[in-house]
Amino acid sequence: MGLEEKLPSGFVLTTVEQAAGWVRKASVFPATFGLACCAIEMMTTGAGRYDLARFGMEVFRGSPRQADLMIVAGRVSQKMAPVLRQVYDQMPNPKWVISMGVCASSGGMFNNYAIVQGVDHIVPVDIYLPGCPPRPEMLLDAILKLHQKIQDGKLGVNAEEAAREAEEAALKALPLIEMKGLLR
């Protein structure tokens, strides 16, 4: 007794993009990629109380070749960076990256020789998730936002067009240092 029962003549028109996005967002397989403190919160999210299974994501894949979501959970050291990139390269397309926690997003409080100052130096990031570490609810929120992003994903020429637009917008964007306003 859902939407499907109310459809006129039993069929519905949509685009391939939307259908593909809808299917993809409901079957995201995260890779088992824990680094530091955030990995513990990621495991907590998978465990009983927060229960990632509600979003069809409880199966963390041990092999990156079976995964399409990498949750970079924790600080990325200079020594780990090549490994992380290799894991990312091993994942089949389409793939997404959540940068979980401030250390992965920007280096956080570890502004020093050992830590990569933001995992976006190595892999493209879809969602930045702040917090040190983020609560499981925050990770769930990031995952839901990522689901929406996957749902809205483009295919083929539309994808190329979207990428081009994004690049143009980024080139035109005002650098942070030239922005005015509150210091943040």
Partner 1 sequence: MSDHTHGEGQNGNAVPAPRDTGGEVIRVRKGMFGANNGGDTSGYGGLIRTVTLPGASSRPYGGWFDEVADELEGALEEQDLLPENAIEKTVVDRDELTFHIAREHLLQVARTLRDDPALRFELCTGVSGVHFPGDKGRELHAVYHLRSLTHGRLIRLEVSAPDSDPHIPSLVEVYPTNDWHEREAYDFFGLIFDGHPALTRIMMPDDWQGFPQRKDYPLGGIAVEYKGAQIPAPDQRRSYS
Partner 2 sequence: MTTPHATPRATTEGTVYTVTGGDWDEVVESAVKSDDERIIVNMGPQHPSTHGVLRLILEIDGETVTEARCGIGYLHTGIEKNLEFRNWTQGTTFVTRMDYLTPFFNETAYCLGVEKLLGIEDQVPDRATVIRVLLMELNRLSSHLVCIATGGMELGATTIMIYGFRDRELVLDLFELFTGLRMNHAFVRPGGLAQDLPPGAVDQLREFIKTMKKNLPEYDKLATGNPIFKARMKDVGYLDLAGCMALGATGPVLRSAGLPNDLRKTDPYCGYETYDFEVPTADTCDSYGRFLIRLEEMRQSLRIIEQCIERLEPGPVMVADKKIAWPAQLALGPDGLGNSLDHIRNIMGTSMEALIHHFKLVTEGFRVPAGQTYTAVESPKGELGVHVVSDGGTRPYRVHFRDPSFTNLQAMAAMCEGGQVADVIVAVASIDPVMGGVDR
User: Which residues in this chain contact partner 1 in the complex, by CB under 8 A?
Assistant: 78-79, 107, 111-114, 117, 176-184
Residues 6+ apart with CB under 8 A from 44: 50, 136
For partner 2, which residue of 87, 91, 100, 125 counts as binding (CB under 8 A)? Answer: 87
Question: Could you count the other beta carbons within 10 Å of the beta carbon of residue 159?
Answer: 13
Name which of partner 1, partner 2, none residue 144 binds, using a CB cut-off of 5 to 8 Å depending on partner kind.
Answer: none
What are 121's two structure tokens? 């130096």
Nearest distance from C-beta of residue 131 to partner 1, angstroms: 18
Would you say 161 is a known binding-site residue? no
Selected range binding partner 2 among 2-10, 17-25, 58-66, 118-126, rule: CB under 8 A: 58-66
- Quickly list DSSP for 72-134: EES--BTTTHHHHHHHHHHSPSS-EEEEEHHHHHH-TT--SSSB-S-GGGTS--SEEE-SSSP
Contact between 44 and partner 2 per CB under 8 A: yes
CA distance 17 to 163: 15
**Exposed, middle or buried: residue 67 (CB in 10 Å: 0-12, 13-18, 19+)?**
buried
Name the residue nearer to partner 1 (CB basis): 107 or 133: 107
Q: Which amino acid is at 70?
A: M
Would you say 37 is a known binding-site residue? yes
Contact between 113 and partner 2 per CB under 8 A: yes
Nearest distance from C-beta of residue 105 to partner 1, angstroms: 13
Count of CA atoms in the C-beta half-sphere (13 A) of 12: 10
Nearest distance from C-beta of residue 122 to partner 1, angstroms: 14
Contact between 59 and partner 2 per CB under 8 A: no
Would you say 59 is a known binding-site residue? no
Residues that bind partner 2 (CB under 8 A): 32-37, 39-41, 43-44, 47-49, 60, 62, 64, 74-75, 77, 79-80, 83-84, 87, 109-115, 132-133, 135
